[in-house]
Structure formats: structure tokens, C-alpha cells
Amino acid sequence: MQQEYGILYVVATPIGNLGDISERARRILAEVDCIAAEDTRETKRLLAHLGISTPLLAYHEHNERAAAERLLETLAEGRSIALVSDAGTPLISDPGYPLVSAARARGIRVVPVPGPSALICALSASGLPSDRFLFLGFPPRTETQRRAWFDGVKDEPGTLILYESPKRAVATLADLEAVLGDGRRLVLARELTKRFETFLTGSPSALRERLRDDPEQQLGELVMLIEGRREAASADSAEALRVLAILAEALPLAQAAALTARITGGRKNALYRLGLEQGLGR
Ligand code: SAM
């Protein structure tokens, strides 16, 4: 029964640099019976670059459920489909979830063909902790909703990752600062894999100023990464910082952090980072 179905491939495509298409993605896109694309014009450009002429079908958020049904029928006829989005990995802040979940529910084989995704690309080069992270997608558009949204993740210890339009970044940074404070390290990863790729690091207020002063930074595509809640903050952070500041007057920061950890019960590495951010290192 299962063999009668075609295969649904979930294919990642480049997020800016066409050189990032994988050999396997190229082969699958050429071999499948049809490609379900978020924006057929966008995908046509990629296919033209690759010299591929596989037929295209529109699959975007406005027709997701109806299109999913049609694609499931195509799969039921034994034909194979590659699902792609405009850029990056389908389903990651992009259409595809109803199709993939329905295909799995019907026992259809779903095969991922991995490749670029802006969030992983940004995290991998951000310099923020990557052992634990929370991807949040796009923030809500209104200030009230955005603040409530940030409030819901303020205690998350992992790095927070979100997608945002650079045009809205100044407003989002203001709400972020209002809810999470100005003490966290942030990274703005813009135009990844493209000519004007930029990584900016700083506090919410410093980055807001930087964006205001340089309108170029408000163009293109952006991933925002926010340091998670610091472990030192869970022990009495004000007290830990006070002890650290006193000890750092007389000792190298690493030693001051180690002693502060013993005195306050905080974590040595987190205290060391905190000390660096507060300019206590010497
Ligand atoms: N599915 C895609 C992925 O796997 O990354 C994301 C699609 S989502 C609709 C588009 C958002 O991803 C952009 O608004 C931006 O936040 C982020 N993004 C995509 N390409 C990017 C790039 N080259 N540089 C920075 N951010 C990018």
C-alpha cells in the first residue's frame, strides 16, 4: 500500500547565495514529478539558474489546505513532489506544515533534503551560546502584543532567536529592552550569505542607536539573537555583581569570578561573562 504513494521531499534552498544549493537538492529537484513552491516566480529563477525544468505548482499560505489536498492526490497517484519555499528550509516560518503532517498521517514517505536555514546560519556564527536555543519565528506587529510575547520568554536560559524585518527592528529592540532590560548581549545577523552580510553585537539600546544612525542597517533581511537569561541572575544577581566588582578590583577577572561563584553559589563562567560585560576585566 505504502509503495503506491509517491515520495514527498522537503527541500532546503539557498537564503541568498545560490552556491549553497546542495548536490542532492539539485538532483531531487530535477528528478521529481513536480515542485510545490511558495512563490513559483521565485523558484523559477532558482530552477533557471540550475538548468532544471520540472513543472511547478503554487503552494502558499493563502491556499495551503486546498493545495495540500491536491498534492496529496498527486502523491496518491504515485508521483513524487519536492516542497520548497522562497528561501531556506520549508516549514521554518514558511508554509508546509499541513502538507507534511497530512502526508505522515496517511503513511506517505516524507524525506528531508537539508540545507540552509537563516536561524541556524545566524546562530552558528553569532558567538552566543548554541548549546540550547529557542526559535520564536516572527514577533507580533503591535507593541502591546510584542511586549507580552517577550514577557513569555524572559526566563528562558537558552539563546532566543527571532526573525524580524529590519524596518521594524528599532521598535522591536525598544520593546525587548522594556521587558528584558538592557543587560543582555544581542546579535543582529543581516543579509546572511549575501554581499552585505553584517553581524552587529551589543546591548538593545546600543543596537537601536546604531540602526538609527545607519539607515543601511534597516534594509534587507534580519535574524535577531538574544542571550538567554543568565544563570548568575537566578542566584541573587545584584549581590553577585557587588561581590564580583569588589574582588575584581584586586584580582584578575577569572579569579574574581571563581571566588564570587564560591561565595554566592552562582556559575563561574556566567559570572566571568557578566564581569566582562560590566567592564570589570583588567
Ligand atoms: N524558511 C526560511 C529559513 O529556513 O530560514 C525562513 C523564511 S521567513 C519567511 C524569512 C525570514 O528569514 C526573513 O524575514 C529573515 O528574518 C530570515 N532570513 C531569511 N534569509 C535571510 C538572510 N539571508 N539573512 C538574514 N535573515 C534571513
Q: Would you state the pLDDT for residue 238?
A: 79
Prediction pTM value: 0.83
Least confident of 10-24, 86-100, 116-130, 260-274: 260-274
Q: Would you state the pLDDT for residue 1?
A: 47
C-alpha of residue 104 to centroid of ligand 1, in Å: 26
C-alpha of residue 131 to centroid of ligand 1, in Å: 21
121's torsion region: left (phi>0), alpha (psi -120 to 50) or beta? alpha
Q: Quick one: pLDDT band at residue 237, thresholds 50, 70, 90?
A: confident
Q: Tens digit of pLDDT for each residue in 35-47?
A: 999 999 999 999 9
Across the range 274-282, mean pLDDT stands at 82
Q: Tens digit of pLDDT for each residue in 150-165?
A: 999 999 999 999 999 9
C-alpha of residue 137 to centroid of ligand 1, in Å: 10
What gap in Å lies between CA 228 and CA 185, rounded to an integer? Answer: 9
**Identity of residue 119:** L
Contact call for residues 172 and 178 (beta carbons, < 8 A): no
CA atoms within 13 A on the CB side of 149: 18
For residue 88, give the C-alpha cell: 531556506
C-alpha of residue 132 to centroid of ligand 1, in Å: 20
Contact call for residues 46 and 88 (beta carbons, < 8 A): no
Q: Would you state the pLDDT for residue 130?
A: 96
Q: Would you state the pLDDT for residue 282?
A: 65
Q: Would you state the pLDDT for residue 231?
A: 62
**Identity of residue 144:** T
185 by Cβ neighbours in 10 Å (0-12 / 13-18 / 19+) ranks as: buried
DSSP assignment of 157-198: -SEEEEEE-GGGHHHHHHHHHHHH-S-S-EEEEESTTSTT-E
* Any atom of ligand 1 within 6 Å of the Cβ of 156: no
* Any atom of ligand 1 within 6 Å of the Cβ of 217: no
- Mean pLDDT (the chain, rounded): 93
**Identity of residue 134:** L
Is 8-116 in CATH node 3.40.1010.10?
yes
**CA angle centred on 122, ends 143 and 271, rounded to 5°:** 80
* Any atom of ligand 1 within 6 Å of the Cβ of 193: yes
Q: Tens digit of pLDDT for each residue in 58-99?
A: 998 888 889 999 999 999 999 999 999 999 999 999 999 999
Q: Tens digit of pLDDT for each residue in 180-225?
A: 999 999 999 999 999 999 999 999 999 999 999 998 888 999 999 9
Mutate to test the pocket of ligand 1, among 17, 93, 164, 187 (most ligand atoms within 8 A of CB): 93
What gap in Å lies between CA 192 and CA 239, rounded to an integer? Answer: 40
Provide CATH code, domain 119-226: 3.30.950.10
